[in-house]
Amino acid sequence: MEPIKIDGGFGEGGGQIIRSAITLSAITGKPVEIENIRKNRKVPGLRPQHLLGIKILSKICQARVEGLYVNSTLLKFFPSQGLDLDLQEDIGTAGSIPLVLQVLIPAVSLMKNKLRLSIVGGTDVPWSPTSDYTKHVFYEALSRIGINFTLDIKRRGYYPKGGGLVEVQIQPCKNANPVSLLERNTKTVKILCAHSHIPKEMVEKEIHVARNILVENGFDCEIAIKEEDAIDAGCSMLIFSHDASSIIGSDGIYQKGLQGLGESVAKRFIESSLGVDLYLSDMLVVPLALVKETSVYRVKQITKHLETNLFVAAKMTGCKYGIGKLDDGFEVRISGVSDT
């Protein structure tokens, strides 16, 4: 079978297009060729953080891979039959564990395989969802689709040294279901905060700021703060809520001082008043492209990541999608092509 060709420079032109194309290739069994990888970036080609997720997935689906090396601008992925595996992996330094899991969880589950994975790297790092977002927001969304996993954060890993440890178990998907996520109705939210080598009073001050903003906007808050061991100093904050018609998360990490973390995370949460937050809107595309019925969700903005994932999913699966403008945001509809 000739590989489906994907232009890696489309849309945001970064790692997202690689992750989505490889994930869908593994699930569908269709080979893919990605060219012009990150061609518009300061340093074009594959970076070290892109390699491990593809390497692990290639083990699981016994894929033949060409061009899997740092700085490569052309990648070919030829998947075969999936295996149930028990793996131990190390990303090295503070490479993002959540971004690796974004590839592995839907791929393994929709391939009807099992995976036990112990992985070392960055749990809460720049340009990535936090591990708590993965555990509480990504999990909630995927579980409603029928994709189930457990995630245990054994040790935090912050930038630059990483060293975090996460254990994951992924189960085969029995039935893939559509979702409808239109508007947040709940006024109950949870604030989770993990920190290491940062004074507790500084962390509590940011939590206090976040809570006050939420309370002023009519929310009831449940708060959990944990001091957890890590090599580097770091702090991770997540504000999230679930109800029948919404799954919303807003997260942030310590970068050059905590000041402003609580305010920024709380304000982003409040702004996400529809069915999903901006980040979840693009994460949903890959699994929903393989659910035969039509899913619908609403989001405040259409991001480059969302546009990119819709483009890749349509090219890889033939799924149909549409975006409609609302008074206060946008509605996304995705009709998948196969009932997994």
Catalytic residue from among 50, 195, 242, 305: 305
Annotated catalytic residue 305:
yes
Q: How far apart are CA 56 and CA 113, in angstroms?
A: 13
- Residue 164's nearest CA partner among 104, 232, 235 is 232
Q: Are 273 and 216 in contact (CB under 8 A)?
A: no
Residue 55: both structure tokens together: 């390497």
Angle at 191 between CA 331 and CA 132, to 5 degrees: 75
Please list the residues that pair with 309 across neighbouring strands.
none
Strands (E), the chain: 4-7, 32-35, 64-66, 75-78, 85-90, 115-121, 149-155, 164-170, 180-181, 188-196, 220-227, 234-243, 246-253, 294-299, 320-326, 329-335
Question: In a 3-state reduction of DSSP, which class is residue 10?
Answer: coil
3-state secondary structure of 140: helix
Three-class DSSP labels, 45-81? CCCHHHHHHHHHHHHHCCCEEECCCCCCCCEEEECCC
Rounded Cα gap, residues 21 and 34, in angstroms: 8
Catalytic residue numbers, as ranges: 305
